[in-house]
């Protein structure tokens, strides 16, 4: 497709406005959203600097909110295994 563009007729056929779109008008209940979130989330455990277990939260975002930092920071320290601010280690509950 490099250097090419769709014709207006092709764009009309490709797009599915409003009621033609299969997801149009569908809203998920809060219960369904919670189930989806639980299924897709990866739990993260928090340990002190002596590797004593503190707590486990359902994802990086909740842990970031708990210790007041950014979720990307949690991910970086989770991957590296380094000590965060000379206080915490972050681990996946499946790690030992």
Domains and CATH numbers, the chain: 8-91 (1.10.10.10)
How confident is the model over 65-83, as pLDDT tens digits?
Answer: 999 999 999 999 999 999 9
CA 74 to chain centroid, in Å, comes to 12
Q: For every one of its 96 residues, what pLDDT tens digit does the chain have, with 9 covering 90 and above?
A: 788 899 998 888 788 777 777 777 888 899 999 999 889 999 999 999 999 999 999 999 999 999 999 999 999 999 999 999 999 999 998 765
DSSP state of 82: P
Whether the full predicted model's pTM is greater than 0.85, yes or no, is no
- Residue 58 forms beta bridges with which residues? none
- Residue 53 forms beta bridges with which residues? 47
């Amino acid at each position: 497709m490099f250097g090419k563009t769709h014709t207006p007729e092709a764009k009309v056929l490709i797009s599915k406005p409003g009621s033609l779109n299969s997801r149009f008008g569908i809203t998920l209940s809060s219960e369904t959203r919670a189930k989806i979130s639980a299924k897709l989330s990866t739990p993260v455990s928090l340990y002190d600097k002596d590797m004593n277990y503190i707590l486990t939260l359902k994802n990086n975002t909740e842990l970031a909110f708990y210790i007041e930092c950014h979720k990307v920071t949690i991910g970086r320290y989770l991957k590296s295994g380094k000590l965060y601010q000379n206080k915490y280690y972050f681990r996946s509950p499946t790690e030992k």
